[in-house]
Amino acid sequence: MTAPVIIVGGGLAGLVAATELAKKQVHVVIVDQENEANLGGQAFWSLGGIFCVNSSNQRFLGIKDSRELAMQDWFNSARFDREDDFWPKKWAEAFVNFATDHMETYVKNAGISFANVGWAERGDGSATGHGNSVPRFHLTWGTGPAVLEAFEKPVREAAKKGIVDFKFRHRVDELIVDESTGAAIGVRGHILEPSDTARGVASSRETIDTFELYGSNIVITSGGIGGNVDMVKKNWPVDRLGPHVPKSFVVGVPAHVDGRMIDIAQEAGANVINSDRMWHYTEGLHNWNSIWPQHGIRVLPGPSSLWLDATGSRLPAFLFPGCDTLATLKHICSTGYDYTWFILDQTIISREFGLSGSEQNPDVTNKSILGMLWRIFGSSPTGPVQAFMKHGEDFVVESSLSDLVAGMNRLAKERDGPQLDVEDVRREINLRDMQFENQYSKDAQVMLIQNARNYPTEKRGRVAKPHKILDPKHGPLIAVRMNLLTRKSLGGLQTDLDSNVLRPDGTPFPNLYAAGEVAGFGGGGVHGYSSLEGTFLGGCIFSGRAAGLKVAEQVG
């Protein structure tokens, strides 16, 4: 029997690679540091948004999208500007082509269907800049667990036939490289003590033994660095997002997203690029019901909330909710504080507050049509949003503005932030509200709201009817302290279009492949500086597939 292919990491990218290999009857061993309950990694927790271009769902909703438009959007967002971007650029082009020609068919053949097409990263207000010109965030019916199931099922079936083996609680600490050929031939590491922790809960790192496994090829699919705040801080690009590394974050991924394999691969001779490119959010909440350490939940905001920095000044155009994640992050960092304020009301929160994560969207995750209809046509916030309003430490809900600002000042104190004056806050809200006298306005956020309502799906379910925040009919008033939330790595192991890892001199590292977040979702940074969203699951699928196909060809 030939040596198996070893896949390090049983997340989405690993499962997609394993699915392709199993189709060709190639023996695979999936090695993962977590227990079986965690199979699938981050994808289980995801909202299941997948980037597709000119899909049948978009056409059904009247969205005119095209390869050319998506390519423009991608490259205008990525702003590739380094020598190291040679492979990332090739990946970007290949990914947009795949998202246009094959993604929809590939995932639908795997059993995935879409509930809706949302408009994420609406952009920086210009045709030549960052952002999606049209809605492209294809929300999977069943969210992350349904994405996972599509690839977990074939892998488990292959396991029943002996084509796939799992080695859970096996933590890889080293790649074994043949000295004479320079090829990757195996992995070495520690067996962690058994753990029955539930999915997502941080598990023990006590070791009970060592192991060595040899394989024909090694595929690294170990995820990014978002669960390792020290590593995020170490890689923080102060030159771009400075002037200081932010002090505090909430954490948007489980603890196993620890980034260790990146250093391990680098030590073995792999090239790591674009480590300073990351994708962290600016609308993070402390989870009142945490699963993993410092667990944060990202708010997926509609466009209407007033966004103030910690000093009480409104964020400038075009830093509006849901528009330009990294430009907003940069602006927040420039204030010297690591939190901001959303000011809104009951009407806005009911229509516009979504929370990212499968467990925060039980209606879509459980494929409840009734639940979805309730969300779209109902007039109150979703159950999980209501729970945050009640228990979340970042929420202030009050009927008068003076009580609201008093509550905000209590929360600001916890972070050594400035105390706000109620009259200053009232002035900012009034300036906004006065722009709602007419159907038209000079205010870019008001234009954004009107524009969003031209997309019927948004008008129906996602954007509140324009109104004044201080109008008591829409109360109570709500203030939300928004924290910085770690999530994704945009850089990583450099790979060619076959997902073959490259060495610093640009030559292929024999028998070593990488896919998913550890490879910057392909090439070591397919997104460049910025993402269009839905491109992470999509990136795991595309790069995991590329690795699986190439390795199968190699050993077949």
313 closest CA partner among 436, 425, 443: 425
Among 357, 381, 523, 525, binds ligand FAD (CB under 6 A): 357
Contact residue for ligand FAD among 195, 221, 228, 328 (CB under 6 A): 221
Taking CB under 6 A as the rule, does residue 223 contact ligand FAD?
yes
Q: Which of the residues 461 through 490 are near ligand FAD (CB under 6 A)?
A: 488
Distance CA 546, CA 556 (A): 15
- Determine the interface stretch with ligand FAD among 38-46, 306-314, 396-404, 441-449 (rule: CB under 6 A): 38-46
> In the numeric block, which tokens belong to residue 533?
């969203």
Give the whole-angstrom CA distance, residue 157 versus residue 162. 9
CB of 522 to ligand FAD, least distance (A): 11
Distance in angstroms (rounded) separating the CA atoms of residues 272 and 260: 13
Give the three-state DSSP class for 554: helix
Show the tokens assigned to 539.
Answer: 């990136």
C-alpha 51/C-alpha 405 separation (Å) is: 39
12 binds ligand FAD (CB under 6 A): yes
Q: What is the dihedral of CA 520, 524, 526, 529, to 10 degrees?
A: 80
Q: Which of 158, 256, 242, 241 is nearest to 199 (CA)?
A: 256
E strands, 2-73, are 5-8, 28-32, 49-51
Residue 8: CB minimum distance to ligand FAD, A: 5
Size of the site for ligand FAD (CB under 6 A): 42
Q: Are 9 and 221 in contact (CB under 8 A)?
A: yes
Nearest-approach distance from CB 52 to ligand FAD, in angstroms: 11
8 lies in the binding site for ligand FAD (CB under 6 A): yes
Residue indicated by tokens 């959007």: 73
User: Least distance in Å: CB of 144 to ligand FAD?
Assistant: 7
Chain positions 514 to 533 lying near ligand FAD, rule: CB under 6 A, are 516-517
Asked if 11 interacts with ligand FAD (CB under 6 A), we say: yes
Kindly state the tokens that stand for 15.
């499962």
Match 């928004």 to its residue by tokens. Answer: 482
Position 281 contacts ligand FAD (CB under 6 A): no
Contact, 120 vs 533, CB < 8 A?
yes
Q: Rule CB under 6 A: choose which of 52, 172, 332, 389 binds ligand FAD.
A: 172
Taking residue 307's Cβ as centre, other Cβ atoms within 10 Å add up to 26
Cβ 518 to ligand FAD, closest distance in Å? 6
Closest distance to ligand FAD from the beta carbon of 313 (Å) = 30
Contact segment (CB under 6 A) with ligand FAD among 27-35, 233-241, 366-374, 390-398 equals: 27-35
> Residue 107 CB, nearest distance to ligand FAD (Å)?
12
Which x/- pattern, by CB under 6 A, does the window 371-410 give for ligand FAD? ----------------------------------------
State the residues that interact with ligand FAD by CB under 6 A. Answer: 8-14, 31-34, 38, 41-43, 45-49, 171-172, 221-223, 252-253, 256-257, 260-261, 356-357, 488, 516-517, 534-538, 540
